[in-house]
Structure 1
Amino acid sequence: MTTPHASTSPRTGATVPQSGLHPVEWLCELLGTAIVLFVGVSAICFDFGSASPIRALPISERLLLTGLIFAGTGSLIAISPLGRRSGAHLNPVVTLAFWTQRKVHWHDLLGYLVSQFAGAIAGTLAAHALWRNQAVSVSDGLTTPAAGVPDVLAVAVEAGMTACLLLAIFFMTSHHRTARFTPLLLWLLITVLVWQLAPVTGTSMNPARSLGPALIARNLGRYWIYVLGPLLGAATAAALFSLARHTEVLTTKLFHDPRYHSTMGTSLPTGRHHPRSGPAPTRAL
């Protein structure tokens, strides 16, 4: 059963993570992840496919375009109604990272992870069905280390990028003045990481993003790199963030809208229902 209202801590007034089933949030997360993978794999087909209309451009320029589209889609999801409801984690390690900050109940942890992996597979399948030979020519957007890159180095690069991503999220969501700008920063950060480091590992930072293409392309041989690396990055980010005294994550939403209900822990104002269910509160960030 879905808990209708968030519990409130008597000491801080902040809402605490809720137990129970939250199908609306989980569905939003599934759809958001599916859209990101569909658009992202489509962008890879357009930029690097065998019939790409821009194959004459330098690889660096095509990587920059891919990063802008891939990351930009995630940021647009974050500010959409889907993202405002679920938080637009779209990545298992983002949810895990918030869980380390005691902002996520284990019910939501499992629900979000299942939704993210299912969404990634669905989005990749949809892109494969649409682009067919073009998708096959880019291995359905498969992430794999470049030739000559040792597995240990690939894990380290993925861990480092993931730690940077999560620290950016932690610090942006730890202040009410910066929280709403998180999607913009992530768009820029992920774009740069794709642009500069995709030639090394493919720039995943997301086990769900890598699983979808790996399954569809039937190439799971080095998928473990894209699980271990991000997990190590998440652990590193959590450890480093704990050193920042008097700093606490205020919201698990990448774009916090006070009109939207939250099932996770937050110190920012939230609505009790979806905006269509009642009037919006007057408080803002």
Structure 2
Amino acid sequence: MRRKLLSIYCSEFIGTALLVLVGLSVVIFNNGEGSPLWQWLPSPGAHRALTGFLFGCTGCLITLSPVGHISGAHINPIVTISFLLKRRIFTRHAIGYIIAQLSGAITGAIPLLLWGRQGKSIQYGATVPETGRWPAAFVGETITTFMLVAGIFFFTGHRRLRRFTPFLMPPLYCFMVYWEGPLSGTSTNPARSIGPAVISNCWTGHWLYWLAPLAGATLAVALFQLPVLKWHPVQPRLLHRRLQKN
């Protein structure tokens, strides 16, 4: 069982590292100084929508990959905490997931330094609240995280929809980044935020990318505790019944 857990945590480490490396490479290419995309697609809104869609595609592909099949591809501490609040994962296993996610995010961010000037121009994809609009950024990050967790619960809680859960991410992030991106950068994921923060030393408002997603996740969990929506989302790999003897 220990070997299996190690495999799961390693897969979560790799998945989160890939999310940060590939997802933020997309962000840098699309939005960094000198990006050719500005000539092809000058609209800032279209930029955000495309960036969000491709970032969501990255998460979708990781979930569908062998890495995702091993760990379930939370690749986000907030998703893990949400399943913990729903009592679908033990605390000790959730801690293992979160450690793997944060260390994977920092490791995956290091190669972003190879983007050089283009990456540095946007702090290698670091998320920063819009100046003077921190309350709005907090609310926006709360709402988008609520949408993410509620969407995951809705899909994983329904047997017929469960297999389509990964395909929710591209359109969801396309919409969220287009709508909320100017306020907070639409993180919804502390691991996604901590990676570029470490390599760019840009920690402006970093607390927001923990507290606001936690607030959004808590609201989503509370919603799905209501009798009318008391579905039972499945947490891949680390269900109570499968590890209760561990």
Q: TM class by shorter-chain length? A: over 0.9
Structure 1 position 90 matched with structure 2 position 90: no
Structure 1 position 99 matched with structure 2 position 84: yes
Structure 1 position 29 matched with structure 2 position 12: yes
Structure 1 position 162 matched with structure 2 position 137: no
Of 137, 140, 146 in structure 1, the residue corresponding to residue 130 of structure 2 is 146
- Name the structure 2 match of 1:71: 56
Q: Superposed, which structure 2 residues align to 1:1-285 within 5 Å?
A: 2=2, 22-56=5-39, 57-128=42-113, 130-149=114-133, 151-245=134-228, 247-253=230-236, 262-265=237-240
Structure 1 or 2, whichever has the larger Rg, is 1
Q: Name the SS for the 1:204 alignment partner.
A: coil
Name the CA shift for 1:181/1:265 in 2 (closer, same or farther; >3 Å).
farther
2:158 partner amino acid: H
2:216 partner amino acid: G
Percent of aligned positions that are identical? 38
Displacement of 1:99: 0.7
1:204 partner amino acid: S
Of residues 242-251 and 172-181 in structure 1, the stretch that sits farther from structure 2 once superposed is 242-251
Unaligned residue ranges in structure 2 (runs of 5+): none
Name the CA shift for 1:40/1:250 in 2 (closer, same or farther; >3 Å).
closer
Name the CA shift for 1:104/1:73 in 2 (closer, same or farther; >3 Å).
same
Runs of 4+ aligned residues of structure 1 deviating over 2 Å after TM superposition are: 244-250, 262-267
Are 1:146 and 1:201, in contact at CA under 8 Å, matched by a contact in 2? yes
Name the CA shift for 1:219/1:172 in 2 (closer, same or farther; >3 Å).
same
Which structure carries more relative contact order (alpha carbon 8 Å, separation 6+)? 2
CA distance in 1, matches of 2:226, 2:241: 21
CA distance in 2, matches of 1:95, 1:209: 14
Aligned length: 240
CA distance in 2, matches of 1:146, 1:266: 44
Unaligned residue ranges in structure 1 (runs of 5+): 5-21, 254-261, 268-285
Displacement of 1:135: 1.1
Which deviations, in whole Å up to 9, do the C-alpha atoms of 1:174-220 show, x marking residues without a partner? 11110001111122112210122111110001111111111111111
Name the CA shift for 1:69/1:181 in 2 (closer, same or farther; >3 Å).
same
Q: Name the SS for the 1:30 alignment partner.
A: helix
Name the CA shift for 1:2/1:199 in 2 (closer, same or farther; >3 Å).
same
Displacement of 1:266: 6.8
Name the CA shift for 1:244/1:77 in 2 (closer, same or farther; >3 Å).
farther
- Report the TM-score, using the length of structure 2 for normalisation: 0.92
- Name the structure 2 match of 1:19: none
CA distance in 2, matches of 1:3, 1:48: 41
Which deviations, in whole Å up to 9, do the C-alpha atoms of 1:142-194 show, x marking residues without a partner? 11112331x22211111111111101111111111100011111221122101
CA distance in 1, matches of 2:72, 2:185: 25
Are 1:120 and 1:211, in contact at CA under 8 Å, matched by a contact in 2? yes
Q: Name the SS for the 2:2 alignment partner.
A: coil
